[in-house]
Structure 1
Amino acid sequence: MSMQSPVEIWKALEEKYNTELRDLKVAIPELLQVGAIILKLPSSWNNYWKKLLHMAEDFTVEKILKHLRIEEET
């Protein structure tokens, strides 16, 4: 099976490793996942991630990804 797009590759990796983590009963807290996503943003996004860190809102992974997609499109 040949994967064409980065999205396909990401989904395949996500499924593989999420399955392994579930099988091992490893739970990574969502807050930790969100923090890791924010900290891994490129340096060109520094102002944006600082803004995110100062928001009072508790982000879920879904919410942070939605915010990032919107920011990337603008």
Structure 2
Amino acid sequence: EATKAQKGSAEPNRKKVGAVNWKQVEEIARVKMPDLNCFEVASAMRMVAGTARSMGISVEGDFPSNINN
């Protein structure tokens, strides 16, 4: 929903279907926390970002250093 992409990229290394920033990744991670196998928001954010990248969605910017659990 954050990227408005209908589906992931068939070639995620070459063709990107959208982009998200770390604030959007944090929002998604907080919603998904009960379903993920982690206890910290930072860990959940890394998992969400990895999944996004594997779908052809780029994560813009650097990982934030000030994350509140």
* TM-score between the two structures when normalised by the length of structure 2: 0.29
**Higher relative contact order structure (alpha carbons within 8 Å, sequence separation ≥ 6):** 2
Greater Rg by CA = 1
* TM-score between the two structures when normalised by the length of structure 1: 0.28
* Greater share of residues in strand: 2
* Greater share of residues in helix: 1
